């Protein structure tokens, strides 16, 4: 059974870059065909799709964040990562990593989530 675990700093200063890693256990990130994704949720609000990296390494990003986002995979470590640059307080949220199958379009596996606060 595949499990996902987010890690990274819980506090980031404004204008800096937010960096998170999702470690995949119980399966290989490079086997099968999956979208490895990042989703965030500000406190008390809904879910926002940030973007995804496909098993092949190709990426798709939310146009609203595209200029600031990079998602990449490290198959040697069985991880994928998120970098969000020039952060502001509006980027404060719980960040989730999740897995979806392209043909099905739903997220069947989620990490527990990690709170990132943007503050000086």
Partner 1 sequence: DIQMTQSPSSLSASVGDRVTITCRASQSISTYLNWYQQKPGKAPKFLIYAASSLQSGVPSRFSGSGSGTDFTLTISSLQPEDFATYFCQQSYTTPWTFGQGTKVEIK
Interface residues with partner 1 (CB under 8 A) are: 45-49, 51, 60-64, 96, 98, 100, 104-108, 110-113
Minimum distance from residue 89 beta carbon to partner 1 (Å):
20
User: Per the structure block, which two tokens stand in for 22?
Assistant: 């999702």
At 31, give phi and psi (nearest 5°). -100, 150
Q: Name which of 10 and 63 has its Cβ closer to partner 1.
A: 63
Q: How far is the C-alpha of 45 from the C-alpha of 48, rounded, in Å? A: 9
Q: How far is the C-alpha of 6 from the C-alpha of 24, rounded, in Å? A: 9
Q: Name which of 76 and 106 has its Cβ closer to partner 1.
A: 106
DSSP state of 103: T
Q: Name which of 29 and 97 has its Cβ closer to partner 1.
A: 97
Minimum distance from residue 60 beta carbon to partner 1 (Å):
5
DSSP state of 50: E
Minimum distance from residue 106 beta carbon to partner 1 (Å):
4
User: Per the structure block, which two tokens stand in for 17?
Assistant: 């870059």
Minimum distance from residue 63 beta carbon to partner 1 (Å):
7
């Amino acid at each position: 059974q595949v499990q996902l675990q987010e890690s990274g700093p819980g506090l980031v200063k404004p204008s800096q870059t937010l960096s998170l890693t999702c470690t995949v256990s119980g399966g290989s990130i490079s086997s099968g065909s999956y979208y490895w994704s990042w989703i965030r949720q500000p406190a008390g609000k809904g879910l926002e799709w940030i973007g995804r990296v496909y098993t092949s390494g190709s990426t798709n990003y939310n146009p609203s964040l595209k200029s600031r986002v990079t998602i990449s995979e490290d198959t040697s470590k069985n991880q994928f990562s998120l970098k969000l640059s020039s952060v502001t307080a509006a980027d404060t949220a719980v960040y989730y990593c999740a897995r979806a199958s392209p043909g099905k379009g739903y997220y069947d596996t989620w990490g527990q989530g990690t709170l990132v606060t943007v503050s000086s």
